[in-house]
């Protein structure tokens, strides 16, 4: 379904010469293209080594300004297209010891979700007393460790979701499976993860803050954090350490702070009005947007309930850029505590990681079921 070679999007303005492609044979008999993707040659080839910057995106007919709906008119995967067999295989080289670190919080955490979301409920059903049991879950997939799927958040002005989907595709008589989370489940999510432990960096460098405030993490701060970890946040094509298809994880300290609070304090923090809820996260400055786009992450995730700093001024949500315009999955409330500890001890911040979203046709989001393998 992704990247059908016969599909073409119309009315693309401007023209960029497409460099000559140089096929490179890989061990699995597939062919990678070691060249740059021409912006106007749609659909894009996910095997290319370099992709257009945000400022060079083609203008697509019927799409909002800045949309990167470039993988085919029927595409359901967005940036997950970058997790090609070649990249997944190459990412396995990150495994050193084989130690596994689970990245999901218990389903019972947080005990009271924010944004009026439902509390997780678990019940045990007796089938045969003393012999056999089932259990049942009642849950909102956005209440704990989660993936925000493409149905979760649209482009506000156009009311479009990723790749032109509309709300009528999700609910009502014409509902279908466009942008459903089950497309991710069928494709799979696995590749090289990279962790930026910003919270540790901030504490170490006397920049302490409360993750339950709207602390915005700027690109310059991320760069300084990365430098302290021995990382260069430029794309690999520019001499940096970020590879096309990497999965970015950012630790902003929410989980550590959550466990420091009493049950009463957690409840009070989660039940504030939407206008008063505050969480640390990435800044929405143009530099952060350019960097997130131009690194071509397959997905991004953080430990806070919102990934971006919250609240959002003037409806300038980073969610609409990542999900609706670029098709980049967002993970929230991931448990990065043990992973950060392990990465710090070994002095290495990249690893193989995998996630198995729920195979739920028509689903909006999913628990992450994510594991890092060191």
Sequential DSSP letters for 154-218: -BTTTTB-GGG--GGGTSSTT---TT-THHHHHH-EEEEEEEE-HHHHHHHTT----TTS--EE-
Q: In which element (H, E) is residue 269 found? A: helix 263-270
Cα distance between residue 178 and residue 362, in whole Å: 8
- CA-to-CA distance for 251 and 217, rounded, in angstroms? 11
Long-range contacts of 168-176 (CB under 8 A, 24+ apart): 170/362, 170/364, 175/362
Please state whether the predicted TM-score (pTM) of the whole model is above 0.75. Answer: yes
Residue 236 structure tokens:
């690999």
Identify the pLDDT of residue 2. Answer: 38
Q: How many CA atoms lie within 13 A of 232 on its CB side?
A: 9
Model pLDDT, residue 32 = 53
Which residues are paired to 133 by β-bridges?
A: 126
**pLDDT below 70 — which residues of the chain?**
1-34
- 84 vs 185: CA distance, rounded Å: 15
Q: What is the distance between the alpha carbons of residues 109 and 111, in angstroms, rounded to a whole number?
A: 5
CB atoms within 10 A of CB 115: 13
What confidence score (pLDDT) does residue 356 get?
98
pLDDT at residue 275, as a whole number = 82
CB 336 within 8 A of CB 303: yes
Phi, psi of 325 (to 5 degrees): -90, -40
CATH T-level fold of 146-373: Glucose Oxidase; domain 1 (3.50.30)
Paired sense of beta strands 121-128 and 132-138, if any: antiparallel
**What span, in angstroms and rounded, lies between the C-alpha atoms of 135 and 217?**
41
**CB atoms closer than 10 angstroms to residue 33:** 16
Rounded Cα–Cα distance for residues 185 and 243 (Å): 23
Distance, in Å, from the CA atom of 211 to the CA atom of 239, rounded to the nearest integer, reads 32
Contacts of 206 (CB under 8 A, 6+ apart): none
pLDDT for the residue numbered 274: 82
pLDDT of residue 17: 32
CA dist., res. 243 & res. 248, Å (int): 10
Report DSSP state, residue 323: I
Task: Measure the CA–CA gap between 75 and 85, rounded to whole angstroms.
Answer: 18
pLDDT, position 16: 29
Structural contact between residues 165 and 150, judged by C-beta atoms closer than 8 angstroms: yes
Contact call for residues 219 and 227 (beta carbons, < 8 A)? no
d(CA 79, CA 326): 7
Q: Where are the domains of the chain?
A: 146-373
Q: Which of 79, 90, 16, 94 is nearest to 46 (CA)?
A: 79
């Amino acid at each position: 379904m992704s990247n059908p070679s016969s599909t073409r999007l119309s009315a693309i303005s401007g023209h960029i010469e497409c460099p000559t492609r140089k096929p490179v044979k890989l061990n699995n008999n597939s062919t990678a293209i070691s060249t740059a993707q021409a912006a106007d040659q749609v659909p894009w080839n996910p095997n290319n080594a370099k992709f257009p910057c945000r400022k060079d995106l083609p203008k697509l007919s019927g799409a909002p300004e800045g949309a990167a709906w470039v993988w085919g008119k029927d595409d359901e995967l967005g940036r997950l297209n970058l997790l090609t067999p070649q990249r997944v295989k190459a990412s396995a080289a990150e495994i050193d010891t084989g130690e596994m670190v689970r990245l999901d919080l218990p389903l019972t955490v947080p005990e009271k979700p924010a944004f009026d979301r439902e509390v997780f409920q678990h019940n045990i059903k007796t089938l045969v007393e003393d012999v056999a049991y089932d259990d049942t879950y009642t849950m909102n997939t956005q209440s704990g460790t989660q993936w925000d799927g493409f149905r979760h958040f649209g482009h506000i002005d156009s009311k479009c979701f990723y790749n032109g989907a509309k709300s009528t595709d999700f609910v009502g008589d014409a509902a279908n499976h466009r942008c459903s989370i089950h497309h991710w489940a069928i494709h799979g999510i696995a590749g090289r993860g990279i962790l930026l432990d910003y919270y540790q960096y901030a504490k170490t460098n006397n920049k302490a803050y409360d993750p339950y405030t709207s602390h915005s993490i700027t690109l310059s701060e991320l760069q300084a954090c990365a430098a302290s970890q021995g990382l260069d946040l430029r794309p690999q094509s520019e001499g940096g350490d970020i590879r096309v298809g990497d999965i970015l994880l950012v630790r902003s300290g929410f989980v550590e702070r959550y466990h420091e609070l009493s049950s009463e304090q957690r409840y009070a923090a989660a039940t504030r009005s939407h206008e008063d809820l505050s969480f640390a996260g990435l800044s929405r400055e143009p530099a952060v947007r350019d960097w997130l786009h131009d690194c071509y992450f397959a997905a991004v995730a953080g430990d806070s309930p919102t990934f971006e700093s919250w609240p959002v001024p003037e409806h300038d949500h980073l969610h609409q850029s990542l999900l609706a315009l670029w098709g980049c999955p967002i993970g929230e409330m991931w448990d990065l505590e043990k992973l950060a500890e392990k990465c710090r001890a070994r002095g290495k911040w990249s690893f193989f990681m995998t996630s198995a979203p729920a195979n739920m046709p028509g689903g909006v989001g999913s628990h992450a079921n994510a594991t890092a393998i060191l």
